[in-house]
Amino acid sequence: MDFKDTPEEAQFREEARAWLTDNVPTEAEMEGLDFMERAKLWQKSKYEAGWACLRWPKKYGCKEATAIEQVIWNQEEAKFSNLPLGVFGIGQGMAAPTLMTWASDEVTDRFIPRLASGEDVWCQLFSEPAGGSDLAALRTKCERDGDDWVINGQKIWTSGAHYSDWGILVTRSDPSVPKHKGLTYFFLDMKSPGVEIKPIKQISGDANFNEVYFTDVRIPDSQRLGEVGQGWQVSITTLMNERASIGGGSSPVRFSSLFELAQKVNIDGKPAIEDSSVRAKLADWYCQESGLKYTGYRSMTALSQGAVPGPENSIGKLVGAPKTQDMASFAMDLLEMSGAVWDPEFAPEAGLFQQAFMGAPGGRIAGGTDEIMANIIAERVLGLPQEPRLDKGIPFSEVPTGS
Amino acid sequence: MDFKDTPEEAQFREEARAWLTDNVPTEAEMEGLDFMERAKLWQKSKYEAGWACLRWPKKYGCKEATAIEQVIWNQEEAKFSNLPLGVFGIGQGMAAPTLMTWASDEVTDRFIPRLASGEDVWCQLFSEPAGGSDLAALRTKCERDGDDWVINGQKIWTSGAHYSDWGILVTRSDPSVPKHKGLTYFFLDMKSPGVEIKPIKQISGDANFNEVYFTDVRIPDSQRLGEVGQGWQVSITTLMNERASIGGGSSPVRFSSLFELAQKVNIDGKPAIEDSSVRAKLADWYCQESGLKYTGYRSMTALSQGAVPGPENSIGKLVGAPKTQDMASFAMDLLEMSGAVWDPEFAPEAGLFQQAFMGAPGGRIAGGTDEIMANIIAERVLGLPQEPRLDKGIPFSEVPTGS
Amino acid sequence: MNFEFNEDQNLLREQAQGFLADNCPPAAVRAVLDGDAEYDADLWQKIVEMGYTATVIPEEFGGLGLSYLELSVIAEELGRVAAPVPFSSSVYLATEAILMAGSQEQKEAWLPKLAAGEAIGTFALSEGHGRATAEELQTSVSDGALTGTKIPVADGGIANVAVVVASNGLYLVDLDGAGAERESVRTLDFARGHSRIDFNGAPAEALGDPSDGWALTQKLLDRAAVLFAWEQVGGAQASLEMAKEYALGRYAFGRPIASYQAIKHKLADMYVKNTLARSNCYFGAWALDTDAAELPIAAATARVSSTQAFYYASKENIQTHGGMGFTWEFDCQFYYRRAKLLSVNLGSESMWQSRLITAVEQSNAA
Amino acid sequence: MNFEFNEDQNLLREQAQGFLADNCPPAAVRAVLDGDAEYDADLWQKIVEMGYTATVIPEEFGGLGLSYLELSVIAEELGRVAAPVPFSSSVYLATEAILMAGSQEQKEAWLPKLAAGEAIGTFALSEGHGRATAEELQTSVSDGALTGTKIPVADGGIANVAVVVASNGLYLVDLDGAGAERESVRTLDFARGHSRIDFNGAPAEALGDPSDGWALTQKLLDRAAVLFAWEQVGGAQASLEMAKEYALGRYAFGRPIASYQAIKHKLADMYVKNTLARSNCYFGAWALDTDAAELPIAAATARVSSTQAFYYASKENIQTHGGMGFTWEFDCQFYYRRAKLLSVNLGSESMWQSRLITAVEQSNAA
């Protein structure tokens, strides 16, 4: 048991690190570029050198690398803090595998290289206001009209809709059959007439998501993926490729930030870190963070040995999200009467704790609520049975909706 | 807002207190008597003076008192610590109201006065091994044979079965109809041939409950309560009369016991009570205890104003039972390496904490699990819907049982 | 046993609910949250007209001379609607301090104004991060002039008078007078203004004996804690009701999410915490009203359990709402922000846990 | 990244599982629980024959010279079956102390015996209630003779040699020699014997420099904590598996109770706590095996999370079993008793929380 790479992994890491050292642009080189321009510049540079989308087939100009090589690349790339990452995540992580599985060669030959090189940005149009955890309860309608389909409805929680070129979209083609059987899947040009995008303001003040409205939007039938009515199976391909998060993900508030805060503020005239109730709380959070970290190491070891990341990785979000909320809340308690003050010049770490507190409710919901994460562990890791399903086998239009 | 009795209540309390002071037997008067003899002696004494079963009708020799008068009596009686109470609880609290509602005058005239005077002890034969929280899933069979019914099956968790004269019993008369419709209710002589009683040893070492086996036990049809197939409705009468617990009930481990312990043992050379993590834990338990206490006061006020105690009183058990477990566990932690030692001459308070720790798992289950208590609050207090019921409307014999 | 509000008090509650439904709908809270105002001045004026600011002030000082039970009812109802007004600062703290420690002259000078809404009061203790102690306070008065900086001061931007805890006593300072400079600071509850106040020789009158300053402050905190706790319980209850309403109407997999045990037990937990907190608040109200020896215990108990209940209910209300819960558009945020604000405004949960055990120790020793 | 047990270690685990399934079925635990014996002597003899007691002892002292990873595997498997044997006392504590601080002579005298099961070892620190400090210890050695009382001493009734923490050093005492009187004390885990030992001038040999006694004790606690944690994780895992098995087979209202979210989420919580604890134990095993500077942090982290995981899993396993769970007849009790015993046997959760933060502080300062 050790923390070392295998010889092959070490060599790969060395190559990656060398290329990154030589090629990561300096701040000067990116001066004047906005976030999207920087992201595209960097993606293109990687693509041209063969370092983009490492695991994709060689025919698209990629390396066909292993899963652990991808992890190693990510680790090394993450060491350069000025790189604008994330913009291509949905396109490369979800849309591309779906296209590779379900689209014609013509489509993949056209789109996959553009996805790899960062020429196109994609978004995912699945969630709906009435859906939530029950994703397949979506209502956005598609109706056939000649060679086109006409789309009407509303999607929600669409990250990056406003800067995306293309989108993947699931719609309901037949409400008279059971929920999962009446769906049809498309990709569409986000600049199509009738697509309207509105940002959603969150309580944290951020607006990371959008609502997307469809009014008589036309999509050519050639942009359908899978058969009519087969949309759920296509969606499964997309969802299975939702990037398995290894380890705990990154939380804005960590043990170390609280530990430092507790050294700085006083309780009854002594540093809070000397107070044993503070120590007990910090110890528990340390144990959780450390447990997630080494769970991640174990997952990486499995990956290194060729395993596929499974539902057990839900643990990171299930533990991490409420922990962030409670830690942020506790940090504000340590500040006592000044805890609620969010002015960055007054609040410690420029308001990190207040910001994290306001962002945490979203963290416990977006990407699967705490409750859904617990269900996933119960059902898919422990093998416990599903809840009784009252919507099974009945026409979607007859499933109770409360409205 | 105050804690005072109304003038009527105060007068009643005064009368009760005066009678108790004059009539509670001294230890000397009870010397040589066993627990049951003491209980019967005291019950008879109360009955003869009209202080037994206060709320029952005058025709049975009782006072027809109000609910709040009953509470006042209980408070005053509880001040005499040497009184052997509890033996008659099931008979007077559950069997008697059921008889009064469902039995003939002949039966009530015969049994109710004996219940009030403590001549007869009753037990309740409802729970079964396969039942648990799903009480109506009981399987003990009754079959008609001439003027009798023949009972075969097994009951469990029967308190006091071994010293009871009579029992109330629910059985299944027809497994071919839905669960709640095929039950029939009886009372029976616990000395009937074919009744076998085995104590159940608990992990605490106590044996407060029994298994009761029925092998061809004969019950005359005259001891049936309600119609054949009406057993569930009769059971509801019994269950509605399960004594509504006002307030938190009594826990073997209270704030005060932990507070005293924390004054006595050291952490790093100083009394544990000076340690702020100990203080934080104790404060939370204090708040829970105090919250339960004053919730009880509010319930008593409602009672005093004529309200009927409702499902909101489940809060006492839901909060109290896990609290006892965690407090007992924490007390052992305060003792550190000696925490597990249960020898009464060495362990503080003669092993109270260890005993409470081993009794607590039963406290979280008997009389309704934590989960059932939470369901009761969710459904009956907050009005949230039941879970989907897969056993509704189908023959009992076809309900999946896993075996 | 008569441990309940009486008929008049219940009538007052009904009246307050009607009044606030009309005058403090969610849109009113949102207007302050979204805008630049430090409070809802119209609502405040109406609250004054209803006499709520005058509740416990004796008639001789222009008040209604009602009891703390009436004030508890109002506090709970204001908490239920997350009212964007300086009621806690002005009534639970400033008014209380003057009632508790003011001279006849001070009472005559300020109580009628506070009752009639001609003045808004506030309380200034914190001087920065961490748990304040008497020894660490930098603010001090010399020759009747106050010097030092207080931050944050709740409603400090709109208050006319402040009760200031200085290192050498408890003082009354006219904020409209000379020597008090205020600068607005933003908290996470945008519906309640807070300020930094720099005192540069502001004229200050001692409240009570200056050598009792810290002891008086502790007593004031106990008294205010009960009323804060009622406001917190009101917010916790509103959060539970919102969550319940939403869970009953929101369907997933063909049935209301309120029928899933994960949600049912979450709401049952809220109910349990809220009920225990409320019952502790009853005891707090009784102790406050009767000035009982149990007040320190009762106040801390009410405060700790209400703080915990409101935090839990406000965050799990958002969670029950799923995606909509963390949008700006929904009102769940009112309570989540307010829960945290109220919990630190009068000292943290762990400060009050510690006070509770201290109070138990003192009560045992007495 | 190679953060996993290797093939040989996995083979060892399989072998241990097979061996314990045959030789430590629930009936074996129950026999000790119900009877008067302090341990299962037959099982112990077989464990010795399997070489488990010899695992990390170097070959020169009659051991197998394997690593702490192998010992971790064995610890987890013993925990999984709640084995009624003095393995933790003899191997994690006594053997470890001699390996860590013993002279060549002491090693030669005791390690071969401990490896071959000719001697059982134990560790004696506690002298009564509360958290022991160096200053409070009454037991002391003078002129090579130990005087004082230790209570409780795990497996003290059957041990042949004790590592004793005295106020003036860490000592090795032959319990079969003169001056050590033992009296059995009952703990809540009837499957593990404990004793009070009165030392009246018992001959005692210093382990290491007596002036380092307390520091050596702390290091020993760190080393043992990792192995205790593995045993705890094994028990926690067994509790989860029992609960899952029962919930799948037990029906209520026409469906398995495992299909109710109240049960599903309870088991998911167990899984989460167990997984975090296990991952921390991996790090602990690595730190122990490499004698890394991180050991104090790794040990405390493993210990705190395993203690919490085992308490939770063992109590909620009973809860999942409903009425049957708290009967003597069912085996849930093995883990509930053992969880508490192991958690206090090496110092409480809160002691280890405190050690963890101290270790972080020391690591930051270094």
A340 and C345 within 8 Å at the Cβ level: the answer is: yes
CA separation for the pair A92, A363 (Å, rounded): 23
Q: Both A16 and A132 in a single domain?
A: no
In a domain, C93, yes or no: no
Cβ of residue A5 closer than 8 Å to a chain D Cβ: yes
Q: Which of B21, B56, B85 is the last residue of a domain?
A: B85
Q: Both C358 and C220 in a single domain?
A: yes
Q: Which residue of B has its CA nearest to A268?
A: B276
Q: Both C197 and C127 in a single domain?
A: yes
- Which residue of A276, A281, A390, A394 is the best one to mutate when testing the B interface, meaning the one whose CB has the most B CBs within 10 A? A276
Strands C140-142, B141-145: pairing kind: unpaired
Categorise residue C143: left if φ over 0, alpha if ψ from -120 to 50, beta otherwise: left
Residue D75 structural domain: 7-88+100-116
Cβ of residue C263 closer than 8 Å to a chain A Cβ: yes
Q: A219 has which bridge partners? A: A149
CA separation for the pair D247, B217 (Å, rounded): 33
Sign of torsion, CA A61 A63 A67 A68?
negative
CA separation for the pair B86, B73 (Å, rounded): 15
In a domain, B112, yes or no: no
Query: What is the predicted pLDDT for the residue at B130?
Result: 85
| CATH of residue D169 | 2.40.110.10
Supply the angle between the helices C261-290 and B276-304 in degrees, to the nearest 10. 80
A280 and B279 within 8 Å at the Cβ level: the answer is: no
Q: Both D193 and D308 in a single domain?
A: no
Please list every residue in chain D whose beta carbon sits closer than 8 Å to the beta carbon of residue A371.
Answer: 261, 265
Of C265, C268, C356, the CB nearest to B283: C356
Mean pLDDT in consecutive groups of 10 residues from the start of chain D, 366 residues: 93 98 98 96 98 98 98 98 98 98 98 98 97 94 98 97 98 96 96 97 97 97 98 98 98 95 98 98 97 97 98 98 96 98 96 98 93
Q: Of all residues in chain A, what percent carry a pLDDT higher than 70?
A: 98
Q: Both D242 and D308 in a single domain?
A: yes
Task: Select which of A242, A312, A349, A379 is catalytic.
Answer: A242
In a domain, B386, yes or no: no
Residue scoring higher pLDDT (B252 or C137): C137
In a domain, A396, yes or no: no
Cβ of residue B337 closer than 8 Å to a chain D Cβ: yes
- Rg over alpha carbons for chain A, rounded to the nearest Å, is 23
| CATH of residue C278 | 1.20.140.10
Q: Both C146 and C226 in a single domain?
A: no
Query: What is the predicted pLDDT for the residue at C66?
Result: 98
Q: Both A271 and A371 in a single domain?
A: yes
Of A1, A286, A383, the CB nearest to D360: A286
CA separation for the pair D360, D356 (Å, rounded): 6
Cβ of residue D304 closer than 8 Å to a chain A Cβ: yes
B387 and C261 within 8 Å at the Cβ level: the answer is: yes
Q: Both C239 and C333 in a single domain?
A: yes
Reported as a single tens digit per residue, the pLDDT across B67-100 is 889 989 999 998 998 888 889 999 999 999 999 9
Contact C77, C17 (CB under 8 A): yes
For residues C288-317, one letter each, b for 16 or more C-beta atoms within 10 angstroms of the residue's C-beta and e for the rest, the string is bbeeeeebbbbbbbbbbbbbbbbbbbbbbb
CA separation for the pair D323, B366 (Å, rounded): 7
CA separation for the pair D175, D90 (Å, rounded): 13
Q: Both D219 and D359 in a single domain?
A: yes
Q: Which of D179, D210, D241 is the last residue of a domain?
A: D210
For residue B346, which phi and psi values (nearest 5 degrees)?
-105, -45
Q: Both C104 and C151 in a single domain?
A: no
pTM: 0.96
List own/partner pairs for A301-306 with CB under 8 A and 24 or more apart: A301/D1, A301/D2, A301/D3, A301/D4, A302/D4, A303/A67, A303/A68, A303/A71, A303/A246, A304/A6, A304/A9, A304/A68, A304/D1, A304/D2, A305/D4, A306/A66, A306/A67
Residue ranges for chain B with pLDDT beneath 50:
243-248
Cβ of residue A391 closer than 8 Å to a chain B Cβ: no
Reported as a single tens digit per residue, the pLDDT across B353-387 is 999 999 999 999 988 999 999 999 999 999 999 99
Q: Kindly state the tokens that stand for D341.
A: 């015993």
Q: Both C110 and C172 in a single domain?
A: no
D340 and B156 within 8 Å at the Cβ level: the answer is: no
Active site residue B242: yes
Q: Which chains have at least 3 CB atom pairs separated by less than 8 Å from chain B?
A: A, C, D
Query: What is the predicted pLDDT for the residue at B242?
Result: 64
In a domain, A103, yes or no: no
Q: Confidence class of residue C326 from pLDDT cuts 50, 70 and 90? A: very high
B68 and C1 within 8 Å at the Cβ level: the answer is: yes
Helix or strand holding residue B226 (H, E): none
| CATH of residue B191 | 2.40.110.10
For residues C4-13, give the mean pLDDT. Answer: 97
Classify burial at D176, counting beta carbons within 10 Å of its beta carbon; exposed 0-12, middle 13-18, buried 19 or more. exposed
- The answer, yes or no, to whether residue A143 has pLDDT greater than 90, is yes
Q: Both D236 and D107 in a single domain?
A: no
Query: What is the predicted pLDDT for the residue at B157?
Result: 94
For residue D24, which phi and psi values (nearest 5 degrees)?
-135, 55
Query: What is the predicted pLDDT for the residue at B226?
Result: 97
Query: What is the predicted pLDDT for the residue at B2?
Result: 87
Query: What is the predicted pLDDT for the residue at C113?
Result: 98
Q: How close does chain B come to A262, measured CA to CA in Å? A: 15
For residues C135-155, one letter each, b for 16 or more C-beta atoms within 10 angstroms of the residue's C-beta and e for the rest, the string is eebebbbeeebbbbbbbbbbb
In a domain, C2, yes or no: no
- Which residue of C253, C261, C265 is the best one to mutate when testing the D interface, meaning the one whose CB has the most D CBs within 10 A? C261
Q: Both A252 and A358 in a single domain?
A: yes
Of A9, A291, A387, the CB nearest to D276: A291
Please list every residue in chain A whose beta carbon sits closer than 8 Å to the beta carbon of residue B387.
Answer: 388
Q: Both C206 and C218 in a single domain?
A: no
Q: Both B154 and B187 in a single domain?
A: yes
| CATH of residue A331 | 1.20.140.10
Query: What is the predicted pLDDT for the residue at B246?
Result: 42
Q: Kindly state the tokens that stand for C68.
A: 């703390």
Which 3 state secondary structure label does DSSP give A96?
helix
Query: What is the predicted pLDDT for the residue at B367?
Result: 86
Q: Which of C210, C242, C264 is the last residue of a domain?
A: C210
Q: 3-state SS string over D107-173? A: HHHHHHHHHCCCCCEEEECCECCCCCCHHHCCCEEECCEEEEEEEEEECCCCCCEEEEEECCEEEEE
C262 and D265 within 8 Å at the Cβ level: the answer is: yes
For residues C111-133, give the mean pLDDT. Answer: 96
Q: Which residue of C has its CA nearest to B280?
A: C353
Q: What is the mean pLDDT of chain A?
A: 93
CA D128 centroid distance within chain: 20
In a domain, D242, yes or no: yes
Cβ of residue D333 closer than 8 Å to a chain B Cβ: yes
Q: How close does chain D come to B133, measured CA to CA in Å? A: 7
For residue A144, which phi and psi values (nearest 5 degrees)?
-70, 135
Task: Select which of B242, B312, B349, B379 is catalytic.
Answer: B242
For residues A26-52, give the mean pLDDT. Answer: 93
Reported as a single tens digit per residue, the pLDDT across A267-286 is 999 999 999 999 999 999 99
Residue B13 structural domain: 7-85
In a domain, A217, yes or no: yes
Contact C308, C340 (CB under 8 A): no
Q: Both D62 and D155 in a single domain?
A: no
For residues A245-251, give the mean pLDDT. Answer: 52
Q: Confidence class of residue A307 from pLDDT cuts 50, 70 and 90? A: confident
CB contacts < 8 A, C to D, total 9
In a domain, B376, yes or no: yes
Cβ of residue D244 closer than 8 Å to a chain B Cβ: no
Cβ of residue D255 closer than 8 Å to a chain C Cβ: no
| CATH of residue C104 | 1.10.540.10
Query: What is the predicted pLDDT for the residue at D132?
Result: 85
Query: What is the predicted pLDDT for the residue at A241?
Result: 73
Cβ of residue C308 closer than 8 Å to a chain A Cβ: no
Helix or strand holding residue B66 (H, E): none
Cβ of residue C261 closer than 8 Å to a chain D Cβ: yes
CA separation for the pair B221, B219 (Å, rounded): 6
Residue B117: other Cβ atoms inside 10 A: 20
Q: Kindly state the tokens that stand for B132.
A: 């648990």
Q: Which residue of A has its CA nearest to B282?
A: A277
Q: Both B216 and B272 in a single domain?
A: no
In a domain, D94, yes or no: no
Cβ of residue C5 closer than 8 Å to a chain A Cβ: no
Of C131, C152, C343, the CB nearest to A267: C131
For residues A324-340, give the mean pLDDT. Answer: 97
Please list every residue in chain C whose beta carbon sits closer than 8 Å to the beta carbon of residue A332.
Answer: 340, 344
What is the tally of structural domains in chain C? Answer: 3
Cβ of residue A276 closer than 8 Å to a chain B Cβ: yes
In a domain, D223, yes or no: yes
D260 and C260 within 8 Å at the Cβ level: the answer is: no
